[in-house]
Amino acid sequence: MQAAVELKNISKNYKETKALNGVSLTINVGEMVSLIGASGSGKSTLLRHISGLERSNTDDSYIKVHGKTVQENGKIAYDIRKIRSGIGFIFQQFNLVGRLSVLVNVLVGMLHKIPVWRSVLRLFTGKEKEYARDALKRVDMEEKAFQRSSTLSGGQQQRAAIARAIVQNADIVLADEPIASLDPESARNVMSLLARINDEDEATVVVSLHQVHYALKFCKRIIALKKGRVVFDGPCEEVTAELLHEIYGSKFAETGIFEDLKDITKLLDTEPSFDGTKEKVEVIA
């Protein structure tokens, strides 16, 4: 299979903390993969390295995305901006500009495709706006297009962020704890949208999650990190109570989640009912 992401010997030190420790792995085109692990295990750091936002501390290391070098031997590629245009990044805190409309925030995903002078003036063509509205429709947010982003709920903001990744036409979507601050219903909606992007757009999706049951439900492959190392990489069916105990420790085991994990995933089988209201939004010219 063709590799979407290749990592070799990636390490990252922050003073005395080793965030990543010799990570090597390959993610194939079209996979939907979940990174799991306790806080501080290196999930977010790994995603930032893949997108070229962080660089490895080690020689004899590289990261490639669709065969293009993102970084090598601790040096970011000179054409990283061009490479990054094909990588969608969805953040835990949404990264929307609150004073701007939802539509304009989504259009930001097109900035790499348009001249600088138009991006500075936020001038978009009718065709570009139509494309952004279509993306909002896919995430059931078309009625919110002209609403200020700051007025949206957390789940709605994350869906707008996903629409921004859709208009970017990214081959790879990286999602860093995208449901950490959301209620269960909104979390399920967001994960369903990521799964649809993976299926319908054939995009490779890598998502870091604390919620193991969502990882097991929506992702076929699980990569578990502990203290910056990969301690498990395989299909979700092979995730065991012993593995989760190793990753999360005894306090996690005491919650009883091991016994309930498979039953919880069954609760996610129903179709998502988006949390957005259907009130009419005034369109301002």
Mind listing the pLDDT tens digit for each residue in 31-85? 999 999 998 999 999 999 999 999 999 889 999 999 999 999 999 999 998 899 8
Q: Which of 243, 246, 182, 245 is nearest to 214 (CA)?
A: 182
pLDDT of residue 279: 32
Q: Which of 233, 157, 159 is nearest to 191 (CA)?
A: 159
Percentage of the chain modeled with pLDDT above 90 = 53
Inter-CA distances, 157 with 152, 187, 260, Å = 6, 12, 30
The β-bridge relationship of strands 32-36 and 221-226 is parallel
Task: Give 35's strand partners.
Answer: 208, 223
Digit-coded pLDDT (tens) for 138-187: 999 999 999 999 999 988 999 999 999 998 888 999 999 999 888 888 89
Q: Look at 62 and 116; give whichever has higher pLDDT.
A: 62
At residue 255, does pLDDT exceed 60?
no
CA 123 to chain centre: 28
Distance (Å, rounded) from C-alpha 219 to C-alpha 232? 14
C-beta neighbour count of 237 within 10 angstroms: 9
Q: Are 102 and 146 in contact (CB under 8 A)?
A: yes
Residue 77's H or E segment, with its range, is none
- For residue 131, name the pLDDT band (cuts at 50, 70, 90): confident
At residue 221, does pLDDT exceed 80?
yes
pLDDT of residue 229: 96
Q: Which token pair is 121?
A: 């003036």
Q: Which of 92-96, 112-116, 239-243 has the highest mean pLDDT?
A: 239-243
Backbone angles phi, psi at 205, to 5 degrees: -120, 125
- Mean pLDDT across the chain: 85
Distance (Å, rounded) from C-alpha 62 to C-alpha 59? 8
pLDDT of residue 126: 82
Q: Are 175 and 205 in contact (CB under 8 A)?
A: yes
Q: Are 195 and 222 in contact (CB under 8 A)?
A: no
CA 149 to chain centre: 20
Residue 19's H or E segment, with its range, is strand 17-28
Residue 194's H or E segment, with its range, is helix 184-200
Inter-CA distances, 36 with 172, 194, 225, 272, Å = 18, 16, 6, 23
Distance (Å, rounded) from C-alpha 198 to C-alpha 74? 30
Global confidence as pTM: 0.85
C-beta neighbour count of 270 within 10 angstroms: 8
